Amino acid sequence: MEEKQHKRRVHYSGKYPRKFEEKYKEQNPEKYADTVAKVISKGSTPAGMHISIMVKEILEVLKIQPGEKGLDCTLGYGGHTRKMLEQLKGNGCVYGLDVDPIESQKTVERLRSAGFGEDNFKFRLINFANIDKVAEEAGKFDFVLADLGVSSMQIDDPKRGFSYKVDGPLDLRLDPEHGESAAERLRNITRDEFVGMLIENSDEPYAEEIADKVFNLMKKGNPMDTTTALREAIEGALWKVPKEEKDQAIKKSCARVFQALRIDVNSEFEVLYAFLEKLPGILNPGGRVAILTFHSGEDRLVKKSFKELKKNGIYSDISEDVTRPSAEECRLNPRSKSTKMRWAIKA
In a domain, 292, yes or no: yes
33 confidence band (pLDDT: 50, 70, 90): low
Are 147 and 295 within one domain? yes
In a domain, 230, yes or no: yes
In eight-state DSSP terms, residue 216 is H
pLDDT for residue 64:
97
Tell me if residue 156 falls in helix, strand or coil.
Answer: helix
| Number of domains the chain is built from | 2
The string over 167-190, giving b where at least 16 C-beta atoms fall within 10 Å of a residue's C-beta and e elsewhere, is ebbbbbbbebeeebbbbebbeebe
Tell me if residue 274 falls in helix, strand or coil.
Answer: helix
Are 280 and 259 within one domain? no
pLDDT for residue 96:
96
Q: Which of 265, 291, 314 is the last residue of a domain?
A: 265
Are 59 and 138 within one domain? yes
Are 281 and 295 within one domain? yes
pLDDT for residue 90:
93
Are 260 and 273 within one domain? no
In a domain, 21, yes or no: no
Are 253 and 274 within one domain? no
Are 273 and 137 within one domain? yes
Helix axes of 227-237 and 207-219: crossing angle, nearest 10 degrees: 120
- CATH number of the CATH domain containing 134: 3.40.50.150
Percent of the chain clearing pLDDT 70 (strictly above): 84
pLDDT for residue 41:
54
Q: Which of 265, 292, 321 is the last residue of a domain?
A: 265
Query: Do residues 73 and 275 lie in contact, with contact meaning Cβ atoms separated by under 8 Å?
Result: yes
In a domain, 144, yes or no: yes
Mean pLDDT across the chain: 88
Percent of the chain clearing pLDDT 90 (strictly above): 71
What confidence tens digit (pLDDT) does each residue in 142-167 have? Answer: 999 999 987 766 677 778 877 888 89
Are 336 and 274 within one domain? yes
The whole domain housing 120 covers 55-152+269-346
Are 199 and 288 within one domain? no
Asked whether the predicted pLDDT for residue 233 surpasses 90, the reply is: yes
What confidence tens digit (pLDDT) does each residue in 169-221 have? Answer: 999 998 888 899 999 999 999 999 999 999 999 999 999 999 999 999 999 99
179: phi then psi, degrees, rounded to nearest 5: 80, 180
pLDDT for residue 149:
81
Which pairs from 308-317 meet CB under 8 Å and 24+ separation?
309/280, 309/344, 310/344, 313/347, 314/280, 314/346, 314/347, 315/280, 315/344, 315/345, 315/346, 315/347, 316/286, 316/345, 316/346, 316/347, 317/344, 317/345
Asked whether the predicted pLDDT for residue 168 surpasses 90, the reply is: yes
Q: Which of 203, 237, 265 is the last residue of a domain?
A: 265
Please give the sequence-ordered ranges of beta strands (E in DSSP) within 34-104, or none if there are none.
69-72, 93-98
Nearest to 207 by CA among 252, 247, 174, 164: 252
Are 247 and 196 within one domain? yes
- CATH number of the CATH domain containing 223: 1.10.150
User: How does DSSP assign 63-81, residue by residue?
Assistant: ---TT-EEEES--TTSHHH
Which amino acid type is present at position 310? K
Are 276 and 341 within one domain? yes
Query: Do residues 227 and 164 lie in contact, with contact meaning Cβ atoms separated by under 8 Å?
Result: yes
pLDDT for residue 40:
47
This prediction's pTM: 0.82
Angle among Cα 8, 10, 12 to the nearest 5 degrees reads 145
Are 254 and 277 within one domain? no
Rounded Cα distance, 221 and 61, in Å: 53
